[in-house]
């Protein structure tokens, strides 16, 4: 177990090397100005100074390997370059936007897991009966719904028709309140911070804004979770030990709760990492639709304005999160399922 974790941790730099090398190779094909913005960690790139002078000042005509090493050194120091689209350093932009995305993802994950598992189990227990078909068709339909189509529909109904769920993250008045000195920022997540500051009005406002994007994100992944749980539960229900449990006369409730459910949930944990991946990608679309200022909106705005340093910075940030999450999921998996031997 320990050796497995150590091996995975040793592999982490290899992965990060691969990812950075790939990105570096792509960046090298850029025109001189964009490259300057990528490698020069200051607003200098914005001012129209002499290009030659900048290249000389930062040694941008060094051989690629030297450039790469210096770039990586910068990255390790948290220096990701200058973002032209948000007028601040990329590191600062990520630090400001990340809590918003984290808040959105956390809000979405809980209903997805609980709702998906619950309905998946119900669906499996009614295998090939009307209830199973109904949930299945609903899940496939939701799963076939591109996130931006669903998002547009939710926005149209929730804001356009009902006027309940406005886009954005806070109303203008709350935005001002949050910036005041009396409002202490603990996590950057407004729903949590407002509660800690005992400001229920702001909490209510933040909640109203977050519900529609959370609903959109959750719908898609809820369908995914349901499908995984259903097939894994069906698989377990056909196992010999479940038949034995039934044969010895245990009540159906005990069979399912004590014998089937725990085993059926094992594969569900493995999809958690791919769900997180999907959520991170989906966040980009959903945040754009709802104009919710998180990392996703940052990325899509930066991409349409060809702000390479910002997009690359977010990608690297995501890559690190992803590797860590994958590791945690694998280790958790081996703890939950003693049959899995990590080598």
Partner 1 sequence: MNIFKRLLKNRISLLGLILLLCFVFVAIAAPWLAPPKEGSDPYRIPRRGWSLEPTPPTAQYPLGLTQGQYDIYYGLIWGTRTAFRVGIIVITFRALIGIILGSIAAYYGGLLDEILMRFTDIFMSFPYLIGVVVFVSIFGPGLNNVMIPLIALGWMPYARMIRGNILAIKQEEYVLAARAIGVSDFKIITRHILPNSIFPVLIQASMQIGSIVISVSALSFLGLGAPEGYADWGQMLSFARNWMLGEQGNVLKYWFTVVYPGLAMVLFVLSWNLIGDAFRDIMDPRIQA
List of residues contacting partner 1 (CB under 8 A): 11, 14-15, 18-19, 22-23, 26-27, 29-30, 127, 133, 136-137, 140-141, 143-149, 152-153, 155-156, 159-161, 227, 231, 234-235, 237-238, 277, 280-282, 284-285, 288-289, 299-300, 302-304, 306-308, 311-312, 314-315, 318-319, 322-323, 326
Neighbour count for residue 337 (Cβ, 10 Å) = 16
- In this structure, the chain runs to a length of 343
In terms of CB distance, is 163 or 338 closer to partner 1? 163
Least distance in Å: CB of 277 to partner 1? Answer: 6
Segment holding 15, helix H or strand E: helix 2-27
In terms of CB distance, is 251 or 274 closer to partner 1? 274
Tell me which residue of 117, 118, 145, 301 sits closest to 216, measured CA to CA.
Answer: 145
Exposure of 342 by Cβ count < 10 A (0-12 exposed, 13-18 middle, 19+ buried)?
Answer: middle
Least distance in Å: CB of 200 to partner 1? Answer: 29
Least distance in Å: CB of 306 to partner 1? Answer: 6
Distance in Å from the first CA to the final CA of the chain? 8
Q: Are 38 and 308 in contact (CB under 8 A)?
A: yes
In terms of CB distance, is 18 or 56 closer to partner 1? 18
Q: What angle do CA 281, 284, 289 make, to 5 degrees?
A: 135
Least distance in Å: CB of 201 to partner 1? Answer: 25
SS3 89: strand
How far is Cα of residue 195 from the mean position of the Cα atoms in its chain? 24
Least distance in Å: CB of 261 to partner 1? Answer: 17
Q: Which residues contact 210 (CB under 8 A, 6 or more apart)?
A: 103, 104, 107, 169, 191, 292
In terms of CB distance, is 112 or 289 closer to partner 1? 289
In terms of CB distance, is 210 or 308 closer to partner 1? 308
In terms of CB distance, is 49 or 153 closer to partner 1? 153
How far is Cα of residue 99 from the mean position of the Cα atoms in its chain? 12
Q: Tell me the C-alpha distance between 56 and 281, whole Å.
A: 38
Least distance in Å: CB of 64 to partner 1? Answer: 16
Least distance in Å: CB of 202 to partner 1? Answer: 25
Least distance in Å: CB of 327 to partner 1? Answer: 10
Exposure of 132 by Cβ count < 10 A (0-12 exposed, 13-18 middle, 19+ buried)?
Answer: middle
In terms of CB distance, is 178 or 276 closer to partner 1? 276
In terms of CB distance, is 194 or 229 closer to partner 1? 229
Exposure of 279 by Cβ count < 10 A (0-12 exposed, 13-18 middle, 19+ buried)?
Answer: buried
Q: Are 81 and 90 in contact (CB under 8 A)?
A: yes
């Amino acid at each position: 177990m320990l050796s497995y974790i150590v091996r995975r941790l040793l592999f982490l730099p290899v992965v990060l090397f691969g990812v950075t090398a790939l990105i570096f190779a792509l960046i090298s094909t850029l025109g001189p100005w964009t490259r300057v913005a990528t490698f020069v960690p200051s607003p200098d790139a914005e001012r129209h100074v002499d290009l030659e002078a900048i290249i000389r000042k930062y040694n941008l005509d060094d051989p690629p390997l030297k450039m790469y090493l210096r770039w990586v050194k910068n990255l390790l120091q948290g220096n990701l370059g200058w973002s032209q689209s948000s007028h601040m350093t990329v590191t600062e932009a990520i630090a400001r936007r990340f809590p918003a995305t984290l808040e959105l993802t956390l809000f979405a994950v809980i209903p997805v897991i609980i709702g998906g598992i619950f309905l998946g189990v119900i669906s499996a227990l009614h295998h090939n009966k009307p209830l199973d078909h109904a949930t299945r068709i609903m899940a496939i339909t939701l799963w076939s719904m591109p996130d931006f189509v669903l998002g547009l529909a939710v926005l149209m109904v929730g804001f356009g028709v009902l006027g309940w769920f406005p886009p954005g993250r806070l109303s203008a008045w709350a935005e001002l309140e949050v910036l005041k000195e009396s409002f202490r920022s603990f996590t950057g997540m407004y729903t949590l911070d407002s509660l800690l500051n005992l400001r229920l009005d702001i909490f209510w406002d933040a909640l109203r804004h977050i519900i529609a994007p959370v609903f959109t994100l959750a719908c898609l992944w809820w369908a995914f979770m349901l499908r995984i749980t259903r097939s894994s539960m069906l698989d377990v229900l056909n196992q010999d030990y479940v038949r034995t449990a039934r044969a010895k006369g245990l009540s159906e409730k005990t069979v399912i709760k004590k014998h089937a459910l725990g085993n059926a949930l094992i594969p569900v944990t493995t999809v958690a990492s791919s769900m997180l991946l999907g959520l991170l990608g989906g966040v980009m679309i959903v945040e754009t639709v709802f104009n919710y200022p998180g990392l996703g909106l940052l990325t899509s705005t930066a991409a349409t304005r060809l702000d390479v340093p910002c997009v690359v910075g977010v990608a690297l940030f995501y890559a690190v999160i992803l590797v860590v999450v994958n590791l945690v999921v694998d280790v958790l998996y081996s703890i939950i399922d003693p049959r899995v031997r990590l080598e």
